[in-house]
Amino acid sequence: MNNKKVIIFSAPSGAGKSTIVTYLMKRYPILGFSVSATSRAPRGAEVNGREYYFFTSEEFRTKIDNDEFIEYEEVYKGSYYGTLKSEIDRLWNNGKIIVFDIDVVGGVNLKNLFGDSALSVFIKPPSLEILRERLTGRGTEDIESVEKRVKKAQYELTFEDKFDKVLINDNLEACLKEAERITEEFIS
């Protein structure tokens, strides 16, 4: 058994969360990725049940009303994201240490819920300019969406003190090494 631990990764969009989480998931089979629910549309090659459980706004609302979420947020106007209680049960029943890729406010909420069973990690971009470059370079957002995310990042960066660890994602290789180190320290 793993004593029901969880690792929470939060960051402004574009800081490198998915890159880091994907790397760690491949490296440590004990980790299980928490697939969130969202009301936003799939983008690129995203598959329902792998990156997200995709729902219409109405379906999402019904799940809120039925108290099916451990937490949820309207991360961007009109786009809801949340963690289903059933997802936590699924992963813990499979003996996994749960990994969350979740927005900054959701990350703080989950840390408050799980306490010492959780390691919360804030991934910080070197600067807002670099964040904008990464979001643009990823090619998944139009200009309006990039600017919305950069604007929100300024607010999100004020939360870093509320996390157990802060990882600066400047040089990717160095950041992945540090992510491995803190993961091993926590799961061992």
33 binds, among ligand ADP, ligand 5GP, none (CB under 5 to 8 A by kind): none
**Is 104 a residue that touches ligand ADP (CB under 6 A)?**
no
Task: Find, among 35, 188, 32, the residue nearest to 96 by Cα.
Answer: 32
Q: For residues 16 and 116, give the distance between their C-alpha atoms in angstroms, rounded to a whole number.
A: 25
**Is 87 a residue that touches ligand 5GP (CB under 6 A)?**
no
**Is 36 a residue that touches ligand 5GP (CB under 6 A)?**
yes
Closer CB to ligand ADP, 62 or 154, in the complex: 154
Q: Interacting stretch for ligand 5GP, rule CB under 6 A, among 97-105, 126-134, 158-166, 176-184?
A: 97-105
Sign of CA dihedral 120, 19, 61, 104: positive
Contact criterion met (CB below 8 Å) for 150 and 133 = no
Determine the residue type at 23.
Y
**Is 40 a residue that touches ligand 5GP (CB under 6 A)?**
yes
**Which of 31, 102, 121, 150 is the binder for ligand 5GP (CB under 6 A)?**
102
Quick count: other Cβ atoms within 10 Å of Cβ 96? Answer: 19
**Strand 36-38 to 6-10 pairing:** unpaired
Report helix, strand or coil for 35. Answer: coil
**Is 33 a residue that touches ligand 5GP (CB under 6 A)?**
no
**Which of 5, 8, 10, 16 is the binder for ligand ADP (CB under 6 A)?**
16
Closer CB to ligand ADP, 57 or 171, in the complex: 171
**Strand 52-54 to 36-38 pairing:** parallel
**Is 19 a residue that touches ligand ADP (CB under 6 A)?**
yes
Q: Is 71 exposed, middle or buried (0-12, 13-18, 19+ CB in 10 A)?
A: buried
* Interaction site with ligand ADP (CB under 6 A): 11, 13-19, 134, 137-138, 169, 172, 175
* Interaction site with ligand 5GP (CB under 6 A): 13, 36, 40, 71, 73, 75, 81-83, 101-103, 106
